[in-house]
Each structure stands twice: as C-alpha cells, then as structure tokens.
Amino acid sequence: GQQVMQIPQYQHVQEGEDFTTYCNSSTTLSNIQWYKQRPGGHPVFLIQLVKSGEVKKQKRLTFQFGEAKKNSSLHITATQTTDVGTYFCAGPHPGSNYKLTFGKGTLLTVNP
C-alpha cells in the first residue's frame, strides 16, 4: 500500500481563501518532495525538503517538514485560479532510496 497518506482528497475554495494539504508517513523520511499536476498535464516538481523542521516558501506557497520527518504540509495563501490542480507529496519507499512513493494527492479547485 501507499507509504504516504495525504489529506484531504479534495478541496474546493473561493478565490482568495487559503488552502492546506497534509502528508503523513508511518516511517521517518530522508526527504519529502511536492509536485503539482494541472488537469490533463503531468506532475511538475515544486520543492524538496530534507531537514527536520524545515520551512520553505515559494511566493504564496509555504512548505513545512515536521520535526520527526514523518509529516509535511503545503499551504497556499490567497488562492488564485492558477493554483487549480492536484498536489502530490512523495517520499522514498521504506528500505529503498531507489523508489519514490507518491501520496494519492489533493485536488484543489478554485471558484473565481
């Protein structure tokens, strides 16, 4: 089964509202990655977090890696219609740094 659990599965917001998606792992992760997939498109790498407690920002997006390196979150401030898509977290499979396991993703829709 999936190593990383992601919630919520869906989120619908009004433009201008904030959005957060959460990623949880049963095992400690060496790193966690976030991807965005626009409808009909392919996943595009957003960021990689490596350090315990790390926080990184990209404009309106804030990424956090938990202190125990078992959870992560992506927060979008003041959503825009361009934020629409599915956001995935991904981490190494337990026992193998050669396999990247993806969460099931959170589909974000934004009402203008």
Partner 1 sequence: NAGVTQTPKFQVLKTGQSMTLQCAQDMNHEYMSWYRQDPGMGLRLIHYSVGAGITDQGEVPNGYNVSRSTTEDFPLRLLSAAPSQTSVYFCASSLGQGGNQPQHFGDGTRLSIL
Site string for partner 1, 28-67 (x = CB under 8 A): --xx-x-x-----xxxxx--x-------------------
Structure-token match 């407690």, residue found: 53
Measured CA to CA, the distance from residue 3 to residue 90 in angstroms comes to 9
Residues in region 63-92 near partner 1 by CB under 8 A? 88, 90-92
Query: Toward partner 1, which CB reaches closer, 19 or 88?
Result: 88
Measured CA to CA, the distance from residue 80 to residue 78 in angstroms comes to 7
* Contacts with 53 (C-beta within 8 Å, 6 or more apart), sequence order: 64, 65, 66, 67
Q: What is the DSSP letter of 67?
A: T
In one letter, which amino acid is 108? L
Quick one: which of 14, 39, 59, 98 contacts partner 1 (CB under 8 A)? 98
Smallest separation (angstroms) from partner 1 to the CB of 78: 26
Residue 39: both structure tokens together: 């409808």
Under rule CB under 8 A, residue 96 binds partner 1: yes
Give me the residues that bind partner 1 (CB under 8 A), please.
2, 6, 9, 30-31, 33, 35, 41-45, 48, 88, 90-93, 96-105
